[in-house]
Each structure stands twice: as C-alpha cells, then as structure tokens.
Amino acid sequence: GAVVSQHPSWVICKSGTSVKIECRSLDFQATTMFWYRQFPKQSLMLMATSNEGSKATYEQGVEKDKFLINHASLTLSTLTVTSAHPEDSSFYICSARLQGNSPLHFGNGTRLTVT
Amino acid sequence: GDSVTQMEGPVTLSEEAFLTINCTYTATGYPSLFWYVQYPGEGLQLLLKATKADDKGSNKGFEATYRKETTSFHLEKGSVQVSDSAVYFCALASGGATNKLIFGTGTLLAVQP
C-alpha cells in the first residue's frame, strides 16, 4: 500500500538554528501534502497545504516565514522551522494524497525539541 | 469554523469489553467523517469513514454511524482486544478544493488482558 516516509523521526536543535523535515511519498505521486502540528493531548492542527510546484497555503495564525514549506516534486515536501525557539518544540506530521478525493496517507511524525 | 469534539481519554477497558468513543462535530454543509487510529510508534491510519448521513463505516469490528440529527459519529466495537490499544482520532473533511481534514484531540484506548 501507499507509504509516506517522514525524516527525521526525532531531532534536537538549539535555539536560533533551523531544522528541515522531509516528507516523501514512496510509491505514489502526491499532488497535495499537508503539514500538521500536534501538541500534547491536543488535536492535530493543520499548518499548511502544499501543492506541487506552487506556494503553500498557510492556515490562519501560522507564520509562513517561520515555517517554510517547499513542495518541489511530486514525491517530496519539506518543512523548515527557521530560527527555532523552545515553543516550536512539538510533533510535526505530514500527510499526502494522490489527488482531490484520494485517501490521505500519513507519515510517522517528527518529534522536534528545541533547547 | 468547522470543529470536532471527542471524549477525553484515557479509556481503559478489559479485553472483550464494549467500546464507545464519542465524537461530535460542527460544520457548515455536509462533511465526510472519519476515524483514524495511531498505534504506538506508527503513523495515523484510516480506520473507517462515512460520507453522508446515515452511512455506517465499519472495519476490523469497529463501527460508526453518521448521525446528522445529532451531529455525531461515535466509534463502537463490541469486543475489544489488547491489540486495539492505540490513540483514536475523529476527523471531518469539509470538502472543496483542498478537502482538508480537521481532527479531534484524540482518545487513548488502553485494553488490559
């Protein structure tokens, strides 16, 4: 079945540095990818919708200059957390689908800890 | 805006007990409704879905019925197993061009032998 690979699974970085998270669709071409953030005991909050070859659409309240999303190919989207701060520590999850009403496939998530 | 509310966990049950996890939603229009499951150390997986009122989604012994009159989509299973221990997320998709998913907070289910 369809698989979405997310890398790294966990990362620790220092305040002020940038961290890149990759989301790859392994056996299908994903026209759309979504990035979510999950706080402890809270729901997955949609951060942005990424369409291949175009700029990402960010949800209200998400800083696009802080959370840079690139969807350069049909199999890869990246989320870069720039100038990370401890409050950016969270669990980030990507999902991908082939087209409009296709099922969504999720990555295993990335645990980011900013010290 | 659209939202999903589900019961807080953790829910702790003995093996073979009956499970209900409540989920209600608020949405304009007619959303599709989903239950996702996240087993320890794994990504979210679609468990079941329903796309219109009175539809019943079912999979692996789990069921949920789309109730428009009560705006609910409660998850049920008649006899849980230890292997059902996971976090369960209720979600809705509002449709449209992006058809993005909106999730509830998740409910941790722990089944004891």
A chain contacts of residue B45, beta-carbon cutoff 8 Å: 106
Residue B94 or residue A36, greater confidence: A36
Q: How far apart are CA B83 and CA B99, in angstroms?
A: 31
Nearest to A109 among B36, B43, B106 (CB): B43
Along the 113 residues of chain B, how does pLDDT read in single tens digits? 889 999 888 999 999 999 999 999 999 888 999 999 988 878 888 999 999 999 999 999 999 999 999 999 999 999 999 999 999 999 998 776 566 888 998 999 999 99
Give the C-alpha distances (Å, rounded to integers) separating A98 from A32, A91, A95, B26, B37.
Answer: 7, 24, 11, 27, 21
Q: How far apart are CA A89 and CA A28, in angstroms?
A: 30
Question: Given an 8 Å threshold on Cβ–Cβ distance, is A42 in contact with B105?
Answer: yes
Mutate to test the interface with B, among A24, A43, A46, A91 (most CBs of B within 10 A): A43
Nearest to A43 among B46, B99, B106 (CB): B106
Q: Map residue B82 onto helix, strand or coil.
A: helix
Q: What is the pLDDT of residues B80-108, one digit of tens each?
A: 999 999 999 999 987 765 668 889 989 99
Q: Which two tokens stand for residue A88?
A: 């950016």
Separation of CA B79 from chain center: 16
Nearest to A41 among B45, B99, B105 (CB): B105
